Structure 1
Amino acid sequence: MKINPVIFLIGLFLIVACEKAEIEAPVVDNPVLSLSIPSGFPAMNSAVQANLPTKYGVALGERLFQDKRFSGNNTVSCSSCHIQSSAFADHEAQAIGINGRVGIRNTPPIQNMAFMKFYNWDGSKLNLESQAIVPIITHEELNSSILEVIGKLQNDPSYPLLFTNAFGDPSITADRIYRSLAQYQYTLISANSKYDRVRLHQNEVFTESESRGYTIFQLKCKSCHDTELFTDQSFRNVGFPLNISTQEAGRARVTGIAADYMSFRVPSLRNIAYTAPYGSFGQFATLMDVLDYFDNGVLEAENLDPILKANNNRIPLTQQEKLDIIAFMKTLSDSTFVGTTKL
């Protein structure tokens, strides 16, 4: 019997296609996670919409966040400095990286990152996806390279499945590493403090001291620590003691503008009780030290914040006002977020 070559080729194609379909891995169900946006929070960074957290993307990001192979000698991970019980900061004045090297700045907490417009003390990055490379290549932090990191991960037999679940195939790329790390951090939302429960009328009230502190805070602190993030995300020189490092220039390191010299991003005060010491390089051991400094008078500078200039370079506070403000700031503590008991 004579076989029609066209029919034969079609049949052969169908057989190969069926066999290929049988050996292909099933499509992984990797749903987008629903981020619970707290009441009153500002809009999310636009980068979030382009990299929405997924079930397996977040799981991969958390695994990478804890992997010490991101450092040159496999001893330090992101989580070595960003510790959950400290609101993903630490208690070092300046960050301690590979081989005990000391960085020039204090480790910032990484809560509510999805709602931030700038990252790092100087705002050098506008999205988390591009921020991740900074600690990887910095000499005092992880002191590695993304190519070195990829090479290490490729030798771990557990990672191909994790990348397949998150991105559809086992390819380990720089972009996928950055995206998954960002996805994990986008889920670190903190908005379950006593302050939040009082604000939302959830059967909790301030003490007399906390209530007084809240009132004083509105008058003397809110101009910088505004919105439900407790930062207006601006960059200001508030006359804090200067870092002696010749590498430090604050926001001016990014912009090259003299008027930005020693201006830093206003930090969020959420979970502030967990993140001592304070200041861009840990200048202050306690919250009382910070308030005492403002009360006594800050350093003069040509670009000192106008609010301070208008008040003779200080924020005058009585001792009782300081105690009350601190009592209020402690109500911003989210014990669920940091995984500890209440303060």
Structure 2
Amino acid sequence: MRIGHIGLGLAFVAVLASAWTVDEPVPTGPYALHYPASFGGRFTIPADNPTTQEGVYLGRMLFYEPSISSTKTISCASCHQQARAFTDGQALSVGVTGKRTQRNSMSLVNLLWVRQLFWDGRSSSLEEQALVPMAHPDEMGLAPGEAAQVLQKTTSYPALFKRVFGSDTITDARIGKAIAQFERTLISANSPYDQYLEGNYKLTESEQRGLQLFNVAPSMERNVRGGNCAHCHGGPKLYQELFHNNGLEQKATDSGRQGITGLELDHGRFRVPTLRNVALTAPYMHDGRLATLNDVLDHYSEHILASPTLSRELPGHTNGFHLTAGEKTDLIAFLHLFTDSTFINNPKFGNPHLTSLTTKK
């Protein structure tokens, strides 16, 4: 999670949220995760953190809880906003100290299948990932155990933790587990592209051309045009579990994956993000340097910079795929098919504190 800009409205909610009480029935029992068979079952849910209805309920409350930041004005949702497919629209977000974060806020879509989290893959579980921003001094800015202490003093959270974990003792580990349960439910699988795959949507001529460009690797020898996007962003989930250097710089100023592995071959490599809801998640790249989808296509078309760790699938020697203006238009039309309006409007993923505050007398 990364931190976004904070307004007076969030500060107002922070003051009121500490006084909310649980006066509606909390659902209980196993949580059924629904996803297309094509997504596959290659994911791991820890044995000590099964996904339950009460756990997801608590995780959602915590995801939108601003009290677990040093200023009590920032929540996970500050940089992961549902309307933006759980990004924040900023190149680099702003934390509790007013400093910019090092990297762009990634979308939280379909994390159930992701095994290496953050741009550099530093975390191997959602439980671990959820706690990293809380402890970062420039993000949420809390010392270890401080979030648990804050929540322990509230009137409602201890009872919720008892429902989920069998004890009202709140710990950082349990906070991470609850948020991870909620994040596993953030499944996007109902875009026009999904409907096309199911035979329920007919592509326009432009979208059909965009699909062809997306999937095909170009070949000068065979006079085949293509963008080869699917090599990294193929399959029904629209990403591959890979790390790539995509030619933004000849000498990357951010070491990326190398900072985790220590390997020179990983210099400037970053996790391949999903393209689901990509039209909503601007700006793009690990540092948010590209403002629009047009800018992204311009990069891959004309501005790829060669380097020793550049992805072998990218034409560094020619600086790009040299797409025409019409081909770029067709690709963008196709990329818009990945927008899942049901996902960004699903009330199950929205701010429960706002709902609670507006319904109380």
> TM-score if structure 1 supplies the norm length?
0.86
| Corresponding residue for residue 12 of structure 1 | none
- In 1, the alpha carbon distance for the partners of 2:299 and 2:127 equals 36
Which residue does the alignment assign to 2:210?
213
Structure 1 residue 146: Cα displacement: 3.4
Give secondary structure in 2 for the equivalent of 1:51.
coil
Report the equivalent of 2:155. Answer: 157
1:49 to partner: Cα distance: 5.5
Aligned equivalents of 2:330, 2:40: Cα separation in 1? 27
Amino acid at match of 2:105: T
Aligned to 1:261: 267
> Post-superposition shift, 1:256?
0.8
Contact 2:304 2:319 (8 Å CA) reproduced: yes
Q: Distance in 1 between matches of 2:291 and 2:310?
A: 23
Aligned equivalents of 1:102, 1:29: Cα separation in 2: 39
| 1:42–1:227 contact (8 Å) kept in structure 2 | no
User: Is residue 136–residue 142 contact of structure 1 (8 Å, CA) maintained in 2?
Assistant: yes
**Equivalent residue runs for 1:39-50 within 5 Å:** 39-48=37-46, 50=48
Q: Distance in 2 between matches of 1:309 and 1:196?
A: 30
In structure 2, what is the Cα distance between the partners aligned to 1:243 and 1:162?
A: 49
Whichever of the two has the greater Rg, that structure is 1
1:250-305: per-residue Cα shift (whole Å, max 9, x none)? 00111011110110001100000110000101010000101111111312211111
Aligned to 2:137: 139
User: Which residue pairs with 2:77 in the alignment?
Assistant: 79
Whether the 8 Å CA contact 1:97–1:103 is kept in 2: the answer is: yes
Q: CA offset at residue 87 of structure 1?
A: 0.3
Q: Alpha carbon RMSD of aligned pairs, Å?
A: 1.9
Q: CA deviation at 1:207?
A: 1.2
Q: CA deviation at 1:127?
A: 0.9
Whether 2:33 is the aligned partner of 1:35: answer yes
Give the partner amino acid of 1:338: I
Find runs of 4+ consecutive structure 1 residues off by over 4 angstroms.
241-245
**The one of 230, 238, 248 aligned to 1:230:** 238
- Output the amino acid matched with 1:71: S
Alignment-mate amino acid for residue 321 of structure 1: E
Cα contact 2:149–2:170 (8 A) shared by 1:
no
TM-score (norm 2): 0.82
The match for 1:332 is 338
Q: How many angstroms apart in 1 are the aligned matches of 2:126 and 2:184?
A: 9
Q: What does 1:88-127 correspond to in 2, within 5 Å? A: 88-127=86-125
Change (3 A) 1:119 1:240: same
The answer to whether the 8 A contact 1:70-1:77 is kept is yes
Per the alignment, residue 350 of structure 2 pairs with: none
Which position in structure 1 is the counterpart of 2:54?
56
CA distance in 1, matches of 2:312, 2:245: 9
1:158-190: CA deviation from partner (whole Å, max 9, x where unpaired)? 111111121222111222111110000000000
Distance, in Å, in 2 between the alignment partners of 1:173 and 1:184 is 17
User: In 2, Cα distance between the equivalents of 1:334 and 1:270?
Assistant: 8
Q: Which amino acid aligns with 1:279?
A: M
**Equivalent of 1:168 in 135, 152, 166:** 166
Any conservation in 2 of the 1:133–1:146 contact (CA below 8 Å)?
Answer: no
What count of residue pairs does the alignment treat as equivalent?
310
> How many Å separate the matches in 2 of 1:207 and 1:244?
39
In structure 2, relative to structure 1, the CA distance for the partners of 1:120 and 1:168 (3 Å cut) is same
Deviation at 1:244, TM superposition (A): 8.3
Determine the C-alpha separation between the residues in 2 that align with 1:125 and 1:322: 35
Q: Secondary structure at the match of 1:166?
A: helix
Distance 1:309 1:324 in 2: 21
Spell out, residue by residue over 1:42-72, the C-alpha distance to the aligned partner (whole angstroms, 9 max, x if none): 4343235653211110010001111112211
Residues 316-338 of structure 1 show CA distances to partners (whole Å, capped at 9, x for unaligned) of 21111111111001000001111
1:293 is matched by which residue type in structure 2? Answer: H
Q: 1:166 to 1:331 in 2, by over 3 A?
A: same
Matching residue of 1:239: 247
CA distance in 1 between counterparts of 2:300 and 2:80 reads 28
Instruction: Give me the whole-angstrom Cα distance separating, in 2, the residues matched to 1:243 and 1:280.
Output: 15
**C-alpha distance in 2, partners of 1:292/1:335?**
27
Superimposed CA distance per residue, residues 235-257 of structure 1 (whole angstroms, 9 cap, x where no aligned partner):
00011148986xx3100111011
Assess, with a 3 A threshold, how the Cα gap between structure 1 residues 62 and 327 changes in structure 2: closer, same or farther: same
Q: Give distance in 1, aligned partners of 2:192 and 2:143.
A: 42
- Partner Cα separation in structure 2 for residue 49 and residue 229 of structure 1: 25
Mapping 1:271-310, distance limit 5 Å: 271-309=277-315
Q: 1:37 Cα shift?
A: 2.2
